Structure 1
Amino acid sequence: MTKLLEQAIDRVRALPPETQDEFARVLLRLAGDDDGIYRLTPEEEADLIEAEAEIARGELATDDDVQTVFSKYRL
C-alpha cells in the first residue's frame, strides 16, 4: 500500500461510519468491484419517499419554476 493511500485511509477512519461506507463504495467502484446496485442511506430513502408523495399529490415544479432555476445556474 502506498503512503498516500495509507493517509487517505487514516483520514477516512476518523469519519462517521455512514461516511466511511460512502467512501468504501466509491473505492470499490473505482477498483472494479461494483455490484451495480446503489444502496440508499436512510436519509436518501426518506427523501425519496417524500419526493414520491409530493409527486402523487401533484406538487410539481412548473415550467416557469424550472426555467428560473436553469437561468440562474446556466453558464
Structure 2
Amino acid sequence: MLLERVATWPEQAQAEFVRSLEDIETRHIGPYRLSDAERKAVHRGLQEMRERKLADDAAVAAIFDRYRA
C-alpha cells in the first residue's frame, strides 16, 4: 500500500507528500487560506488597479491580435 511505503521515502519526499495532502484537504474540506506571499500579491494587484497600472481591454485585445496574425 502506498501509505505504508511513504515511511521509506527520503525526508524531503515525505515532506512534499504531506504538503500535497494538506493542499488537497484544504481544497476539498475547508476554505482556502492565502499564504503571506499570496496576500501580498493580491494587495499589490489591487493597488496597481487603483493606480490604473493595468492594461485596459483594448490594449489587451491589441496584444492578442498582434500575436494571432
Please indicate the TM-score interval, normalised by the length of the shorter structure: 0.5 to 0.7
Distance in 2 (CA, whole Å) between partners of 1:64 and 1:39 is: 34
Q: Give, in angstroms, the shift of residue 58 of structure 1.
A: 1.4
Greater helix content: 2
Structure 1, unmatched stretches of 5+, are none
* TM-score of the two chains, using structure 1 as the length reference: 0.54
Structure 2, unmatched stretches of 5+, are none
Alignment of 1:22-61 (within 5 A): 23=20, 24-26=22-24, 28-29=25-26, 32=28, 34-35=29-30, 37-61=31-55
Percent same amino acid among aligned pairs? 18
Structure 1 runs (4+) deviating above 4 angstroms are 69-72
Distance in 2 (CA, whole Å) between partners of 1:4 and 1:65 is: 51
